[in-house]
């Protein structure tokens, strides 16, 4: 019996169907418009592609209510994205298909997929961090995602200041100069007008952004001691940045960095299908 997969993004939903062997067959993309229209189109597509599933997995943009005891379980929490605050992502599928529906953030889905099939294969623990328009993190230990009252918000930890970055207020609407506010893609554009890869390798922005992520990694490592730290997302795709972050993390840890840095701090092992594989990992965990 197949698995139904959804990678729910702010601009598009990617749908897929995977067989028992985890191979993704049919797939489609639909535009993210309103919940009624987009979720309705997704239900129609899954009906047209078999209609009987072992489980359905949703790896979604957030923030999400993930407390099973909450009346809002599976709903998008307050978001600046028009129409989607309060949207229930589970109900349309639970109503249409007689199968378990699993939901988590896209970041947690990617963490689980990297732990099972990517850079974390064969290791007991993995931290996945994505640095793009925001910063998000998911931690897997013993095959299970770290979960508290909600999903982690690792991008919003408070940060020390780089010595040459005193004039920038940060651009997180909630905290100003948290990690995301200082070192995600929009913070790079706000300071220097271009992405890091367009600024050129000698621009001081590379060292500053790498320093912030190095500080953050040293903090995460002290708390979780992951066997693998996978750095994904568009900003981390900047040539040379991962190596700089790794060196800064080792320096910031001051002798407390456990493991070989070149083996611990790595690029993602999964590429094109990472989002749908995240949804598959969530579906398999439930059904």
Q: Of the candidates 74, 2, 71, which has an alpha carbon nearest to the alpha carbon of residue 39?
A: 74
Structure tokens at 236: 């981390």
Among the listed ranges 2-10, 123-131, 164-172, 230-238, the one in contact with Zn ion (CB under 5 A) is 164-172
In 10 A of CB 70, how many CB atoms? 12
Is 210 in contact with 248 (CB distance < 8 Å)? Answer: yes
Cβ 174 to Zn ion shortest distance, Å: 5
Among the listed ranges 50-58, 117-125, 165-173, 195-203, the one in contact with Zn ion (CB under 5 A) is 165-173
Q: How many residues does the chain have?
A: 287
Cβ 130 to Zn ion shortest distance, Å: 15
Among the listed ranges 87-95, 124-132, 177-185, 257-265, the one in contact with Zn ion (CB under 5 A) is 177-185
Of positions 77, 83, 161, 175, contacts Zn ion by CB under 5 A? 175
Using the minimum distance from each CB to Zn ion, give the nearer residue, 17 or 187.
187
Is 188 in contact with 209 (CB distance < 8 Å)? Answer: yes
**172 is a contact residue toward Zn ion (CB under 5 A):** yes
Among the listed ranges 54-62, 77-85, 120-128, 167-175, the one in contact with Zn ion (CB under 5 A) is 167-175
What does the alpha-carbon distance between residue 138 and residue 106 come to, in Å, rounded to a whole number? 9
Q: For tokens 């919940």, what's the residue? A: 35
Q: For tokens 């903090």, what's the residue? A: 219
Among the listed ranges 105-113, 115-123, 155-163, 261-269, the one in contact with Zn ion (CB under 5 A) is 155-163
Using the minimum distance from each CB to Zn ion, give the nearer residue, 68 or 174.
174
**182 is a contact residue toward Zn ion (CB under 5 A):** no
Using the minimum distance from each CB to Zn ion, give the nearer residue, 138 or 268.
138
What does the alpha-carbon distance between residue 177 and residue 157 come to, in Å, rounded to a whole number? 9
Using the minimum distance from each CB to Zn ion, give the nearer residue, 54 or 175.
175
Cβ 132 to Zn ion shortest distance, Å: 15
**178 is a contact residue toward Zn ion (CB under 5 A):** yes
Is 19 in contact with 46 (CB distance < 8 Å)? Answer: no
What does the alpha-carbon distance between residue 68 and residue 54 come to, in Å, rounded to a whole number? 20
DSSP code for 76: B
In 10 A of CB 187, how many CB atoms? 26
Of positions 27, 54, 156, 203, contacts Zn ion by CB under 5 A? 156
Using the minimum distance from each CB to Zn ion, give the nearer residue, 27 or 175.
175
DSSP code for 90: S
Cβ 63 to Zn ion shortest distance, Å: 12
Among the listed ranges 56-64, 76-84, 151-159, 188-196, the one in contact with Zn ion (CB under 5 A) is 151-159
Strand partners, 102: 57
Q: Of the candidates 65, 105, 146, which has an alpha carbon nearest to the alpha carbon of residue 279?
A: 105
**28 contacts: CB under 8 Å, gap ≥ 6:** 14, 15, 16, 45
Using the minimum distance from each CB to Zn ion, give the nearer residue, 61 or 93.
61
Cβ 254 to Zn ion shortest distance, Å: 26
Using the minimum distance from each CB to Zn ion, give the nearer residue, 123 or 161.
161
Using the minimum distance from each CB to Zn ion, give the nearer residue, 161 or 175.
175
Question: What are the residues binding Zn ion (CB under 5 A)?
Answer: 156, 172, 174-175, 178
């Amino acid at each position: 019996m197949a698995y139904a997969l959804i990678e729910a993004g702010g601009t598009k939903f990617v749908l897929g169907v995977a067989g028992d062997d985890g191979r993704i067959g049919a797939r489609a993309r639909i535009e993210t418009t309103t919940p009624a229209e987009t979720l309705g189109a997704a239900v129609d597509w899954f009906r047209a592609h078999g209609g009987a599933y072992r489980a359905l997995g949703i790896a979604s943009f957030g923030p999400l209510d993930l407390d099973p005891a909450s009346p809002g379980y599976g709903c998008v929490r307050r978001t600046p994205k028009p129409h989607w605050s309060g949207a229930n992502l589970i109900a349309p599928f639970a109503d249409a298909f007689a199968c378990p529906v699993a939901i988590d953030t896209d970041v947690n889905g990617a963490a689980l997929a990297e732990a099972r099939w990517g850079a974390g294969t064969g290791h007991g623990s993995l931290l996945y961090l994505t640095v793009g328009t925001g910063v998000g993190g998911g931690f897997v230990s013993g095959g299970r995602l770290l979960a508290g009252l909600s999903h982690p918000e690792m991008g919003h930890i408070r940060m020390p200041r780089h010595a040459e970055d005193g004039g920038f207020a940060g651009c997180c609407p909630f905290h100003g100069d948290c990690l995301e506010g200082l070192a995600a893609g929009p913070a790079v554009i706000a300071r220097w007008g271009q992405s890091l890869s367009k600024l050129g390798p000698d621009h001081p922005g590379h060292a500053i952004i790498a320093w912030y992520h190095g500080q953050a990694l040293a903090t995460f490592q002290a708390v979780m001691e992951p066997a693998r730290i996978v750095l994904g997302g568009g900003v981390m795709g900047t040539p040379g940045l991962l190596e700089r972050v790794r060196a800064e993390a080792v320096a910031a840890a001051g002798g407390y960095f456990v493991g070989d840095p070149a083996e611990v701090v790595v690029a993602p092992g999964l590429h094109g299908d990472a989002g749908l594989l995240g949804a598959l990992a969530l579906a398999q965990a439930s059904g």
